[in-house]
Structure 1
Amino acid sequence: MGERPFLVIDTGGFEPVAKEGIMHEMAKQTRQAVAEADMVIFIVDGRQGMTPHDKTITDFLRKSGRQVMLVVNKAEGMRYSAVTADFYELGMGDPYVISAAHGDGVMDLVEEALNLALAQKPVDEEVAVDLGKAIRIAIVGRPNVGKSTMVNTLLGEERVIAFDMPGTTRDSIEIPFERSGQQYTLIDTAGIRRRGKVFEAIEKFSVVKTLQSISEANVVLLLLDAQQDISEQDAHIAGFILESGRALVVGVNKWDGLTSSRRDEIKIDLDRKLDFLSFAKFHYISALKATGVDQLMKSINSAYAAAMSDLSTPKLTRALIEAVEHQQPRRKGSIRPKLR
């Protein structure tokens, strides 16, 4: 919103007393989301009025120690005093009134939430400096492509559980290490799945962490599985990396054991389905046997250097001219932007 980036976690319905099943898993992940949040927006139903469930959630939020904004939804056409009267009993201050369906009050709510969150979380300059010393690498890909195995190979020890079962790594794990005198921080993430396939709440938050890890990385290593067909989801992940503006290196894992004809088929498939990644370096590797990893790391260093380099004005101008010759900017109305 505006120039201030922020991450929103939309939790499932919160049943704090649930003991089993999907509602129990959703409650666990909601608790995790609250613990990690800078601001919690507690939405209640203005048409239904206050319920015993609202009181239970209020007790939980009060004990969490997090800053909470009480928001009364579905308030269209209702007077403020009428729609908020019941909810003062919760003891959470003056409620904010919105209509999510109509957009009434939503922008003001978000603006106020950001102001309150930033006011209580000053920037830690020392941490920012420390993080800048190491190249931050996010390792992403579909579940079970070998991300954790890649981390263990780079470190030379088993630091992350690698098991032949999608979803073994649920959380993003940051691991600092040094290689050939260069400091790195590896971000091993849970595999991204297509949003329509994210049924469990626990998987949902893994996706959030992965997308956040990409945004926080300097270079993203996209791992593909050579033993599976290149899917629409691989292209979707690659597209998000491009949109984030991060440097990109592609590793085609599990390359060992494939016949020469199968390898040729895979390369043709990559050229066809991921042609928009033609600028990126592709490496055909085996994370398990550590083959091709040295060259992969060299490409990561090169991608980082290119992304962080300061271009002189003439170089930048030439780069922009070449980019425009390759792809004209999108029209705005009847006018196409031109370089000056």
Structure 2
Amino acid sequence: MNDKLPTLVLVGRPNVGKSTLFNRLTGTRDALVADLPGLTRDRQYGTGEFENRAFVVVDTGGLMPESADPLAALAEDQARLALEEADHVLFLVDVQQGRTGADESIARHLRKLGKPLTLVVNKSEGRPHAQSAGDFYALGFGEPMTISAEHGQGVNVLLRHVLEKLPAIAPEPPRDDGTVRVAIVGRPNVGKSTLVNRLLGEERVLAADFPGTTRDAIAVPFEYDGHPYTLIDTAGIRRKARVWEAVEKFSIVKTLDAIERAHVVIAVVDAQNDIGEQDAKLMGLIAQRGRAMVLAVNKWDGLAPGEREQVRYQVSLKLPFLDYAPVHFIAARHGSGLGELMEDVQAAYEATTREFSTPELNRVLEAAVEAHQPPAVLGRRIKLRYAHQGGRNPPKIVIHGNQTEKLPESYKRYLANRFREALKLKGVPLLLSFKTGDNPFKDKKNQLTGRQIKKKRRLMARVKKK
């Protein structure tokens, strides 16, 4: 994020409405929201604008003091890291549940930090301020602000109160800055979050040795080798029969949305577990959506030579439709193979967003046809006349000719491979579209001259006499 923008950090125990307020302040639906505690675990960053002032908002996992849940401890570590970045802390409490022992424990910790702080009493819709705030004066943060994050009540007043104490920075106009959006997807526990943390060089998202650690799609901006990226760590997608939690269903929706918005997808599989049907289905979905893809086979370290050969065989056997996607064998925990992986991510981005000139495409088409002619249909040879670009991300090439609807699939694959090779497209599912030119005279009637009309009448009269 832009370091110059003031940073507001949302903290509080689980299910007090932090993610709802995050979405309200950023004008997005980036944070998962449901009536379930512990839904947010990682830091979620977003930007907001209010009265021509820009700011950063950080949503954190719910703080659960003395919880036995190991993930709760990891989420609390993430929240503490966020608090170190805070210019102002918004401490949320829930008026419907009243002041709790967990609120008091969090308040004691926040007082030690000495950060500028506003106590925010949420879910106060329909209640007088005095009634909503009364129970929370005892937390020792002065006059609480009462809001309803869900309905927007009191949020503008809260923002004015907070932002008037922070540097006033106007929002920058939106621009295409060349940032590459990279979604990291795969089954649970294949090492997606570990890969993100290793690329960033910090423990930015939760990584633990049990599935389901990541529930939301967490977007993290960073720079690698001089190129700006946004990494999107997604929840692991497992078989439908195992998707029983409502939270996990929401996570899958967020993962699919991340795939849709990405320029490039890093599909991660586990070298120490079989590549299964679920891996193939997920990657088939990515290919179907036309996203550029790089395959990362993780946990490669520690495998014997024979086991490595078996993994390579599994990749070629179960993922044959990914012949366009470069494969990298990596160890995310130790960082091996990540440099080459990111080189191919950048190459895939450049390929999927590239503009092709029409003469360039026609030269490739002409060379392909000259090397291997299209087949004849009923004695009449199919002719491919010219090609032009029909779209980007993924790249689409439109080829015009006659009888193109009768081209066999084998010849279409041949053309796709020739274009991919000639244009040096890496990691991109090239789309070919074929169009048959219509006869321009098929719906037009020949207009006869006066002399031709008289001649036609004489001929018709002779026919009748005979």
TM-score band by shorter chain is 0.5 to 0.7
Contact 2:398 2:434 in 1 (8 A): no
- For 2:291 and 2:233, the matched residues in 1 are separated by 16
Cross-structure match for 1:153: 198
Structure 1 position 328, deviation (Å): 9.4
Rounded to whole Å, the distance in 2 between the matches of 1:125 and 1:306 is: 29
Contact 2:398 2:435 in 1 (8 A): no
Q: Is the 8 A contact 1:29 1:201 kept in 2?
A: no
Counterparts of 1:304 and 1:144 in 2: how far apart (Å)? 26
Letter in 1 for 2:313: I
Mapping for residues 297-316 of structure 1, pairs under 5 Å: 297-316=342-361
For 1:280, what is the secondary structure of its paired residue?
Answer: coil
**Which of 178, 188, 200 pairs up with 2:245?**
200
The answer on whether the counterparts of 1:192 and 1:207 sit within 8 Å (CA) in structure 2 is: yes
1:117 counterpart residue number: none
Please list, as runs of the form range in 1=range in 2, the aligned pairs for 1:158-197 lying within 5 A after superposition.
158-197=203-242
Q: Displacement of 1:279 after TM fit?
A: 0.8
- Counterparts in 2 of 1:292 and 1:337: CA distance versus 1, 3 Å: closer
Name 1:104's counterpart in structure 2: none
Matched, 1:135 2:180: yes
- Please give the alpha-carbon distance, in whole angstroms, between the structure 2 residues aligned to 1:257 and 1:171: 31
Judged with a 3 Å threshold, the aligned counterparts in structure 2 of structure 1 residues 160 and 299 are, in CA distance, closer, same or farther, namely same
CA drift at 1:145:
0.4
Q: Which amino acid aligns with 2:323?
A: S
Q: Give the number of the structure whose residues are more often strand, by fraction.
A: 2
Match in the other structure for 1:69: none
| Count of residues in correspondence between the two structures | 221
Deviation at 1:196, TM superposition (A): 2.5
Tell me if the contact between 1:193 and 1:207 (Cα under 8 Å) persists in the aligned partners. Answer: no
Residue-by-residue CA offset, 1:215-265 (whole Å, 9 max, x unaligned)? 111100000100000111101110111121111000000000001111111
Identity of aligned residues (%): 48
Provide the secondary structure at the position in 2 that maps to 1:290: coil
Q: Calculate the aligned-residue CA RMSD, in Å.
A: 3.0
Higher-helix-fraction structure: 1
Distance 2:311 2:257 in 1: 30
Query: In the alignment, which residue of structure 1 is the partner of 2:58?
Result: none
- What corresponds to 2:35 in structure 1? 28
SS at match of 2:35: helix
Post-superposition shift, 1:29? 5.6
Q: Distance in 1 between matches of 2:307 and 2:361?
A: 41
Summarize deviations over 1:79-125 as a string: whole Å, max 9, x none: xxxxxxxxxxxxxxxxxxxxxxxxxxxxxxxxxxxxxxxxxxxxx99
Contact 1:29/1:205, CA 8 A, preserved across alignment: no
Structure 1: distance between partners of 2:287 and 2:360: 22
For residue 179 of structure 1, report the CA deviation from its aligned partner: 1.2
Give the corresponding residue for 1:272: 317
Structure 1 residue identity aligned to 2:336: T
Cα distance in 2 between the residues matched to 1:282 and 1:315: 28
Match of 2:341 among 270, 285, 296: 296
CA contact (8 A) 2:293 2:325 kept: yes
